[in-house]
Chains A and B, each alone.
Chain A
Amino acid sequence: MTITVSSITKRFGSFTALDDVSLEVPSGALVALLGPSGSGKTSLLRILSGLEQPDHGSTLLDGVDLGSQSARQRNVGLVFQHYALFRHLDVFENVAFALRVRKVPNDVVETRVRELLQLIQLEGLGRRLPSQLSGGQRQRVALARALAARPRVLLLDEPFGALDAQVRAELRSWLRRLHDEIHLTTVFVTHDQDEAFEVADRVVVMNHGKIEQVGTPAEVFEHPANDFVMRFLGHVNVLEAHLESGRARVGDVVVELAGHEEESPRPGRVYVRPHEVEIGRAQTAGAFPARVVRVTPLGGGLKIELTAPSLGSSLRAEVDWERGSALGLRDGDDVFLSLRRARVFAQAA
């Protein structure tokens, strides 16, 4: 099912949750709504589910306007951030709920629920109450419950938000595999860019009730549309600079900017990701001196905090283990830096 959101506006009192938002989710896609809290992503999800009504605009499923349909008529699967499992019903009846209220015959319910419990790998726990399950198990029950009535689309609100890091990682890849099996058009809300990039085909970056950028994870990461997207996707060094044609002057350092030759001179900001900072022991052309403040292990590499007097700023760099051990960096070492890549954006209004 293709979801079309067209010019949706939603206000809560004086707060504008969604400001003229339009979006198309292709059939079978797995799309992440990514943004900080208050960016409108959950409001958009609730409007799609029918729990909220937009002030303006419309939502369509395969071209059919959903405006006149209440939440109960839409047959969308919704997984709540805190699961909202029915505390007095056991796992089996939680999953069966959508079928029970549709008066589906008992044997059909039985088969379908067994099938779903198998899918979420919780066979044998059907008689447990939600309070007797772990967080990850509750999450999967919530998902099975949402899938029971074969919804037309699946919506997930911060599906992994309340779980610890390891369970999160497992569930992410499980959700991705599940989606590859059932191909249900899926929209999920997250504030975690790693999660969005790992799970989704397409990422919708939102801020202040507006969509900042839509694209594949690679597109969004490689070509951020503006400074908000750039800053939101992981750590980035932001350097005050003076921009000229094709180059930026940061302190005493000049950085080449390909593709900005027509730029008229103005003050601006230069964005450099930590892995785009090149560290060397020897002075090379264009390199500038810096001092290592602190080295910390980070995932598969090292995080290095530096100060660079000639930039008039401190910086963060990241290198992989191999490079890190070749450099043999210690706190207080003097090094030379060059910037492999720097980005500038049109001035924010």
Chain B
Amino acid sequence: MSLLERAVIVPPPRRVALTEPAWVRRVVIGAGVVFLTLFVLVPLAAVLTAALSHGAAAYARSISDPAALRALKLTLIAAAIAVPLNLVFGVAASWAIARFRFRGRALLITLIDLPLAVSPVIAGMVFVLLFGSHGLLGPWLQDHGWRVIFALPGIVLATTFVTFPFVARELIPLMEAQGSEEEEAAMVLGASGWQMFVRITLPKIKWGLLYGVVLCTARAMGEFGAVSVVSGNVRGRTSTLPLHVEILYNEYEYQAAFAVASLLVLIGIASLLARRVIAARVDRSRQEAT
């Protein structure tokens, strides 16, 4: 997935022999523009128009509504826990996969992709099965005063599960391209494992890591399916931003729903911009590796 994205972001080198006749180019570009307008720009404009349909004051009221603010806070908390967890996991997994050949390596690579392959709803169901009141661990946890499902821990678990491929998928190809000679050099020069990681490896991978974190954060804040299943979607208590939008929509508060949705759109656009800037740097560090 990330390879495709990069192909879009970085223009391919221009080859005159491969340049199509002008009308072909116009048709292809025109088709792309029409498609994007219909499926991206129009809906986006619709969201913003609907959000502002009752004026700026109503918009401000909708997004400063206590329930909306609590949903925003919950979204940020979930992301603030899930993203660092996935950062650590992603770096550790990529390190293991890029540096070592071990039994089960192929399996680990496949497992990292699992959350992208299964529907998020199923991911949510798995946690309900495990931690729900009729689940495997749920009753025991409840006896000890722990609520997972319909509470913050469940939301964090679901978010973490859904977003864990992003950092690792970004780092593995980068680390494989860069090789480990510099790390070997650092060791021979007397660096401890930690010194080697902090002084050599981390600077080498920082742009790729940042790119993965941005993708991971955007997905963590936008996740609907898995979180919807585990959170119970209690208004103002266990609803994250996407869930809050759904609640408002189901209550026919269209203007408020779109106002809150516009926050998610802003988060999305911000992460897109960040990705563009960072992707260029990742590409550079990959080129320097070769």
B181 x A88 contact (CB < 8 A): no
Q: Which residues of B contact A86 (CB under 8 A)?
A: 182, 185-186, 199-200
Binds A, one of B50-58, B148-156, B189-197, B212-220: B189-197
- B204's partner among A87, A97, A98 (CB-CB below 8 A) is A87
B288 to chain A, nearest CB (A): 6
In the assembled complex, the Cα of A75 lies from the Cα of B200 at a distance in Å of 19
The answer to whether B253 has its CB under 8 Å from any CB of chain A is: no
Q: Which residues of B contact A73 (CB under 8 A)?
A: 190
Q: Number of B residues contacting the other chain (C-beta, 8 Å)?
A: 17
Binds B, one of A76-84, A114-122, A223-231, A295-303: A76-84
Report the nearest A residue to B184, measured CB to CB: A51
Can you list 12 A-B contacts with CB-CB less than 8 angstroms, sorted by A residue number? A70-B187, A71-B188, A72-B187, A74-B188, A75-B190, A80-B184, A84-B185, A85-B185, A87-B182, A88-B203, A98-B190, A149-B190
The answer to whether A217 has its CB under 8 Å from any CB of chain B is: no
- B188's partner among A51, A82, A88, A102 (CB-CB below 8 A) is A51
In the assembled complex, the Cα of A102 lies from the Cα of B200 at a distance in Å of 15
Q: Which residues of B contact A88 (CB under 8 A)?
A: 203-204
Q: Which residues of A contact B182 (CB under 8 A)?
A: 84-87
Given contacts A51-B188, A149-B189, 10 further A-B contacts (CB under 8 A): A72-B188, A74-B188, A78-B185, A80-B185, A84-B184, A85-B182, A87-B288, A101-B199, A146-B189, A148-B189
List the 9 closest pairs (A to B, CB-CB), nearest first. Answer: A84-B181, A98-B189, A84-B185, A88-B203, A101-B191, A78-B188, A71-B187, A72-B190, A101-B195
Q: Which residues of A contact B203 (CB under 8 A)?
A: 88
Count class of interface residues, chain A: 20 to 34
B181 x A82 contact (CB < 8 A): yes
The answer to whether A54 has its CB under 8 Å from any CB of chain B is: no
The answer to whether A49 has its CB under 8 Å from any CB of chain B is: yes
In the assembled complex, the Cα of A76 lies from the Cα of B195 at a distance in Å of 18
In the assembled complex, the Cα of A70 lies from the Cα of B204 at a distance in Å of 24
B248 to chain A, nearest CB (A): 48
Report the nearest A residue to B185, measured CB to CB: A84
The answer to whether A140 has its CB under 8 Å from any CB of chain B is: no
In the assembled complex, the Cα of A77 lies from the Cα of B189 at a distance in Å of 7
A-B contact count (CB 8 A): 65
Q: Which residues of B contact A80 (CB under 8 A)?
A: 181, 184-185
Report the nearest B residue to A77, measured CB to CB: B188
Q: A125-162, CB under 8 A of B: which get 1 and which 0? A: 00000010000000000000110110000000000000
B204 to chain A, nearest CB (A): 7
State whether A102 and B181 are in contact (beta carbons under 8 Å apart), knowing that A88-B203, A131-B288 are contacts in the complex: no
The answer to whether A40 has its CB under 8 Å from any CB of chain B is: no
B102 to chain A, nearest CB (A): 15
A134 to chain B, nearest CB (A): 16
The answer to whether A50 has its CB under 8 Å from any CB of chain B is: yes
A50 x B188 contact (CB < 8 A): yes
Q: Which residues of B contact A101 (CB under 8 A)?
A: 186, 189-192, 195, 199
- Which residues of B (43-66) have their CB < 8 Å from a CB of A? none
Q: Which residues of B contact A78 (CB under 8 A)?
A: 185, 188
Q: Which residues of B contact A102 (CB under 8 A)?
A: 190
Q: Which residues of A contact B187 (CB under 8 A)?
A: 50-51, 70-72
In the assembled complex, the Cα of A111 lies from the Cα of B158 at a distance in Å of 55
In the assembled complex, the Cα of A78 lies from the Cα of B186 at a distance in Å of 10
In the assembled complex, the Cα of A221 lies from the Cα of B175 at a distance in Å of 45
In the assembled complex, the Cα of A75 lies from the Cα of B190 at a distance in Å of 7
In the assembled complex, the Cα of A73 lies from the Cα of B200 at a distance in Å of 18
Q: Which residues of A contact B191 (CB under 8 A)?
A: 72, 97, 101
B181 x A97 contact (CB < 8 A): no
A24 to chain B, nearest CB (A): 22
B188 x A49 contact (CB < 8 A): yes
Q: A272-287, CB under 8 A of B: which get 1 and which 0? A: 0000000000000000
In the assembled complex, the Cα of A85 lies from the Cα of B181 at a distance in Å of 9
Q: Which residues of B contact A82 (CB under 8 A)?
A: 181
- Which residues of B (143-189) have their CB < 8 Å from a CB of A? 181-182, 184-189
B130 to chain A, nearest CB (A): 42
Q: Which residues of A contact B189 (CB under 8 A)?
A: 72, 97-98, 101, 145-146, 148-149
A51 to chain B, nearest CB (A): 6
In the assembled complex, the Cα of A243 lies from the Cα of B199 at a distance in Å of 65
Q: Which residues of A contact B186 (CB under 8 A)?
A: 86, 97, 101
B198 to chain A, nearest CB (A): 10
Report the nearest A residue to B202, measured CB to CB: A88
